[in-house]
Amino acid sequence: MKWMDISMKLDAETPPWPGDEPFTYEVTYAMEDTGSVNVGQFKGSCHIGTHVDAPFHYDSSGARIADLPVERFSGKAVVVHLDRPEVIHKEQVMDIDLTEVDKILFRTNSWPDRSAFPASYSVIGSDLAAYLAEQGIDLIGVDTPSVDPETSKDLPAHHSLCAHDLLILEGLVLENIQPGIYELMAFPLKMTQADGSPVRAVLRNL
């Protein structure tokens, strides 16, 4: 079975969160100088493109990226389509069978143009976390830059998800993914201190 790539590309065109550090790559040592290799370096926000949030992102005493157990980033995931809802509430997911899966990915189509940061996007209601946790879900993924609105300071979705031990995967590309159950892998880098990490997120049919 072939893997389907559901990650954003990372380059100078990738839109960062407004005001945050863009992704850059440059060659530090060029072949012409070393005679053997090109060696590059990269820079950018931990929350650029398709990425995982660590609890430290919104809680200064929370876990960092390398503290999160690696097994939490692979497993059976249901992809759910909801067309540009303003807020995703419990009512919109109550008839979805979650018995077979431990991850849920929302395709909202609310960030269609990945060359720019969206003016608005679908967000997660704070009533969703308790319900999903009760159903055995341990990770939620979205095709938006955040589970909370751009201007939010209290981050109700982030805090409710964290309180129920649900991990957060943001910036997925789900435009070509049909609703259904898949195997997901989306591993963050083992960065000891980081509050987030870009991931290479992939799905395959079961």
Ligand X SMILES: Nc1ccccc1C(=O)C[C@H](N)C(=O)O
89 as an active site residue: the answer is no
b/e burial code for range 26-64 (CB count within 10 A of at least 16 → b): eeeeeeeeeeeeeeeeeebbbbbbbbbbbbbbbeeeebb
**Interatomic CA distance for residues 63 and 61, integer angstroms:** 7
Least CB distance to ligand X at residue 97 (A): 28
Residue 93 burial by CB count (10 A; 0-12/13-18/19+): exposed, middle or buried?
Answer: buried
Catalytic residue among 57, 81, 159, 164: 57
Using CB under 5 A as the binding rule, whether residue 195 contacts Zn ion is answered as no
Nearer to ligand X, 33 or 67 (CB): 67
40-59 residues in contact with ligand X (CB under 6 A) are 45, 47, 53, 57
**Interatomic CA distance for residues 54 and 14, integer angstroms:** 21
Per-residue contact track with ligand X, 144 to 163, x per CB under 6 A? -xx-x---------------
3 is in an annotated binding site: no
H or E segment to which residue 160 belongs: helix 156-163
145-164 residues in contact with Zn ion (CB under 5 A) are 146
The residues of the shown chain that bind Zn ion, judged by CB under 5 A, are 47, 53, 146, 170
Residues annotated as catalytic are 57
